[in-house]
Amino acid sequence: MPENRRIIFSFFAALAVAGASLLLEAEGWFQRPDLLLWDQFLQRSESSSSADVLLVEVTEDDIRAEGHWPLSDRRLAEALQALVDGGVGTIGLDLYRDLPVSPGIELLERILRAESRIFAVKKFGDPDREGIPGPAVLEDSTRLGFNDLLPDDAGESIRRTALYMTDGRVAQTSFAMLLAQHALAAEGIHPGPDSENEDWMRLGSASLPPLDPNHGGYRNLDARGYQIMMDYGAAPFATVSLAAVLGGEVPPSKLQGRIAILGASAKSLRDELPVPLGGRMAGMEIHAHVVDQLLRIARGVSTPLRVLERWEEVGLVFVVSLLGSLLGLGSGRRSIWGVALLLAAVFGGLGLLGLGGYAAFQAGLWIPMGAPMFSWLGSAGLLTVWVSSRESAQREQLMRIFARHVSPDVAEEIWQQRDAFLAAGRPRPQRLMATILFVDMRGYTARAEKMDPAELMDWVGQFMERMAEEIARHGGVVDDYFGDGIKADFGIPVPRREEREVDEDARRAASAALAMADALEALNADYRARGLPE
Angle at 165 between CA 70 and CA 367, to 5 degrees: 110
The answer to whether 22 and 15 are in contact (CB under 8 A) is no
Eight-class DSSP state of 235: P
In the chain, helix, strand, coil percent, each to 5? Answer: 50, 20, 35
Residue-wise pLDDT for 66-103, tens only, equals: 888 999 999 999 999 999 999 999 999 999 999 999 99
HSE value, Cβ hemisphere, 13 Å, CA-based, for 51: 4
> Are 69 and 63 spatial neighbours (Cβ–Cβ below 8 Å)?
yes
Q: How many angstroms separate the CA atoms of 464 and 468, rounded?
A: 6
Chain segment 490-515, per-residue pLDDT in tens: 887 777 778 898 899 899 999 999 99
Determine the Cα–Cα distance for residues 307 and 327; give it in Å rounded to an integer.
28
Buried b (16+ CB within 10 A) or exposed e, 4-43: eebeebbeebbeebbebbbeebeeebbbebbbebbbebbe
Torsion sign across C-alpha atoms 155, 128, 222, 184: negative
21 or 171, greater pLDDT = 21
User: From CA 478, how far away is CA 467, in angstroms rounded?
Assistant: 10
Whole-angstrom distance, CA of residue 131 vs CA of residue 99? 14
Highest mean pLDDT among 306-310, 388-392, 449-453, 481-485: 306-310
Lowest pLDDT segment from 198-207, 323-332, 457-466, 505-514: 323-332
Q: Give me the amino acid identity at 127.
A: P
Q: Minimal CA–CA distance to 294: which of 195, 384, 177, 468? A: 177
Q: Is the pLDDT of residue 404 over 60?
A: no
**Mean pLDDT confidence for 183-191:** 94
355 CA to centre of own chain: 10
Give the residue-averaged pLDDT of 358-382: 93
Which range is least confidently modeled, 87-91, 183-187, 317-321, 412-416? Answer: 412-416
On whether the CB atoms of residues 88 and 255 are closer than 8 A, the answer is: yes
**CA 345 to CA 387: how far, in whole Å?**
17
Radius of gyration of the chain, Cα coordinates, nearest whole angstrom: 41
pLDDT given for residue 357 in this prediction: 95
Closest CA to 532 of 466, 456, 441, 449: 456
Q: In this structure, which amino acid lies at residue 495?
A: P
Residue 113 has pLDDT above 90, yes or no: yes
| pLDDT for 425 beyond 60 | no
Residue 244's identity, in one-letter code, is A
Mean pLDDT of 30-48: 92
Q: How far apart are CA 255 and CA 236, in angstroms?
A: 17
Q: How far apart are CA 364 and CA 306, in angstroms?
A: 6
What are the strands of the beta sheet with 435-440, ordered from one edge? 435-440, 485-490, 477-482
Q: Give the per-residue pLDDT at 427.
A: 65
Q: Three-state SS string across 212-229, please? A: CCCCCCCCCCCCCCEEEE
Rounded-to-integer distance, Cα 240 and Cα 62, Å: 12
Sign of CA dihedral 428, 429, 435, 439: positive
In degrees and rounded to multiples of 5, residue 152 shows phi and psi of: -65, -40
- C-alpha distances in angstroms, 63 versus 83, 91, 197? 19, 21, 49
Element (H, E) at 526: helix 499-529
CA-nearest of 377, 385, 310 to 17 is: 377
Q: State the average pLDDT for the chain.
A: 87
Which tens digit of pLDDT belongs to each residue from 241-299?
Answer: 999 999 999 998 999 999 999 999 988 888 889 999 988 999 999 999 999 999 999 99
pTM reported for the whole predicted model: 0.75
Nearest to 398 by CA among 365, 432, 422: 422
Q: How confident is the model at residue 7 (pLDDT cuts 50, 70, 90)?
A: confident
- Chain segment 114-162, per-residue pLDDT in tens: 999 999 999 987 666 678 999 999 988 899 999 999 988 766 899 999 9
Q: Which of 400, 411, 395 is nearest to 476 (CA)?
A: 411
The amino acid sitting at 292 is: D
Residue 146 is which amino acid? F
Angle between helices 453-473 and 499-529 (to 10 degrees): 150
**Is pLDDT above 60 for 322?**
yes
